[in-house]
Structure 1
């Protein structure tokens, strides 16, 4: 299982992400011709760069009721800037029925499983909360779905649900809360798999935190790690971390904010968070990197979820992310070029 917190690795060279430039507008905005009726935009998921094509898997906040009428969608792009909607993978009816464990779907994360020679899609399903003692999203469960097309070319699916790999149960740790699991992102390391999973309690309010889980195979069984959870990356707010393996180490990119202990969430219109680990178990406190410049080109009043960190040669990389527009109740998809620097 996960290493003990008393055995951290040796110190590594300092690795930082630096902002280079970004377009002055979203690459998928509210006027995109292929929104297919998506009223409020995008949040969460990930972007995979496969065989020269960017593949965006994301939650579309399609219509009212807000955060209930949802679609998990697949988009593609040859360059990260020009996008075409491929199709809908899952869709919810927008009803809020007590006990419905799939009323709202989020955070689609495709991972290639070499053992099956198929893409696996992990995503989160919630039941609706009711009453003063609950929040909107309750008891989040991590579903695993399998592409029905073999090989790496089967990334677009269709996907078939295979079962739940992590959910609130007797093994839930004390820091986890009513939201259950709010995101899940696996990565391979040393012949096994690790994943970040997140959670939060609505009433009484507690921070949004993440912890580590581990499994001998991508299909599981997944077990929460003892001793290292919750992760110290952020003390008050961290959501939807994605982990990228680089020559400089493992880099977790994630949604952060300007919050402190007294405020649950303060929007940040320019930055996302990141942390660098040498072993993917011990994670130092995170830092922030700008994905939008100051001034007129800053089109967002709340940057949300980073979706990828794709190397583009030398020390340059592309990050794609979601963010709320300043002048509209719409969360668009943005792009930034960054530099990965090690000293």
Structure 2
């Protein structure tokens, strides 16, 4: 197929018979080039790089030698259907172009190369691009001057970088995963066709609360979930403390939990003030939702909300039955409401008294709420109405699967009420979860409003780990009315702060600090540790993009 291009291509001089099982030892030196007579843009080849315009496909894995090279963003649909304009590159020196092809020979939408096409296979499984087959990386060499790249080729491929001709290449298998494991594809803020709503402007390059710091005594497993609010000049954090016990296996950390109260003046240096709630840590004696079981065995996801009408702080939190034998061990969640016994905005420290259960499994529950639902709750006001995100997890396909046979999925839906006290009712009787944000994973959403009135929900976007291939980033969704929510965008904060975590978990706040700067406190997991630390990052809002997003939502 590619005979016509052989006069323009020099065969890369390599040891074709040598197959190496180790990675390239040295980084390659990039060669300078420019795109000729085209509006194709270039990108830096790195994690999250946006490879194709008109798409949500991004690099999530790559061989390290490709890191930092310059690729060319090609229009996805045009290359798939063969209507693309020829790609012309001008090289200022003899150079090698790295072309990524997709391992799906049965699909003519993808270009196929082999060594007979004057292309040398440098990496088998060299790059992972979300939503697309495994990528093999080939090297094709060109002399100094202007060349049309693969002029007779049909089908989609990726231009991943250009290096100097002098580089010695050795074929190897890089072992990167198939990008179709990341399904569906997702939008990474700052790495898409859209302008980012938030710019990541920095933050702490290490955890702000970590094992051994003052206040962490007796907390074996660190932190997960909860909320941070700011009152005057003080941040108040109410995290789930995965307390566990010394000498007891780490899985018990997520059973015996506490809700702590921490304060800070800068969201960096924290002081533990008190324990708001303490779970029993008692395992269930039956496998079903039975009142014989301790239904407050584990306590999670404390959400403080100030009720202006009542002039006091309310707390909404989750209490679980805990099974020792069935996955998930957290089962049959119930949402409790408590309220501060001290009136006024400064009564946030409590003490708090329980006012009863506001949502629980019952006749209005749906199979998608699963064994874990009701698994979180966050209320917010829209006009004279109140809505609350509630969640479910480990869904049942039908009630025939109750109580043991659950699937995978972490979903949210809305409840409604005329007041923060309730009663709360599942909107549309909870028949379907909200899947416009992400169809498989949305956890612990917290809602606030942007300066133009847009509602924004920040949430845990799901792990890339434990057998899951999810964004592994915090995400946000927008709504003009607080009911209908947009597709998620995800924050790649490791592009601006040192990545100390393996698995990103839950954002606890989006606090405005003035000048369109916001503070996010978050939990994450370092797999080398039992203790799950807490971090902090700053983002800056782009008001022009905010207004453009509102106009887009108003058209729908």
What's the TM-score once normalised by structure 1's chain length?
0.89
Corresponding pairs, count: 326
Counterpart check, 1:293 vs 2:495: yes
In structure 2, C-alpha distance between the alignment counterparts of 1:38 and 1:267, rounded to whole Å? 28
| Aligned twin of 1:235 | 439
Offset at residue 268 of structure 1 (A): 5.8
Counterpart check, 1:265 vs 2:446: no
In structure 2, C-alpha distance between the alignment counterparts of 1:147 and 1:264, rounded to whole Å? 41
Partner SS, residue 409 of structure 2: coil
Offset at residue 200 of structure 1 (A): 1.2
| Aligned twin of 1:104 | 298
| Aligned twin of 1:220 | 422
Counterpart check, 1:327 vs 2:532: no
In structure 1, C-alpha distance between the alignment counterparts of 2:467 and 2:198, rounded to whole Å? 26
More off after superposition, 157-166 vs 200-209: 200-209
Report which structure shows greater RCO (CA 8 Å, sep ≥6): 1
Counterpart check, 1:192 vs 2:397: no
The 8 Å contact of residues 335 and 374 in structure 2, kept in 1 or not, is answered as yes
Counterpart check, 1:95 vs 2:289: no
In structure 1, C-alpha distance between the alignment counterparts of 2:463 and 2:505, rounded to whole Å? 12
Counterpart check, 1:120 vs 2:321: no
| Aligned twin of 2:254 | 67
Match of 1:316 among 517, 522, 534: 517
1:34-80: per-residue Cα shift (whole Å, max 9, x none)?
21311110000000011111000110001242211111110000111
The 8 Å contact of residues 292 and 336 in structure 1, kept in 2 or not, is answered as no
Offset at residue 265 of structure 1 (A): 2.9
The 8 Å contact of residues 149 and 158 in structure 1, kept in 2 or not, is answered as yes
In structure 1, C-alpha distance between the alignment counterparts of 2:334 and 2:527, rounded to whole Å? 32
| Aligned twin of 1:305 | 506
Q: 1:86 to 1:182 in 2, by over 3 A?
A: same
More strand by share: 1
Q: 1:284 to 1:127 in 2, by over 3 A?
A: same
1:108-160: per-residue Cα shift (whole Å, max 9, x none)?
0000112221110000001112545x520111000000101011111011010
Partner SS, residue 300 of structure 1: coil
Offset at residue 228 of structure 1 (A): 8.4
Partner SS, residue 253 of structure 2: coil
The 8 Å contact of residues 15 and 276 in structure 1, kept in 2 or not, is answered as no
In structure 2, C-alpha distance between the alignment counterparts of 1:56 and 1:267, rounded to whole Å? 27
What's the TM-score once normalised by structure 2's chain length?
0.56
Q: 1:281 to 1:142 in 2, by over 3 A?
A: same
Partner SS, residue 254 of structure 1: strand
Match of 2:483 among 268, 271, 281: 281
| Aligned twin of 1:3 | none
Counterpart check, 1:168 vs 2:361: yes
Offset at residue 187 of structure 1 (A): 0.9
Offset at residue 299 of structure 1 (A): 0.4
Partner SS, residue 175 of structure 1: helix
The 8 Å contact of residues 318 and 375 in structure 2, kept in 1 or not, is answered as yes
Match of 2:346 among 137, 153, 164: 153
The 8 Å contact of residues 148 and 160 in structure 1, kept in 2 or not, is answered as yes
More helix by share: 2
Offset at residue 283 of structure 1 (A): 0.3
Offset at residue 27 of structure 1 (A): 0.7
Q: 1:152 to 1:254 in 2, by over 3 A?
A: same
Counterpart check, 1:205 vs 2:403: no
| Aligned twin of 1:337 | 538
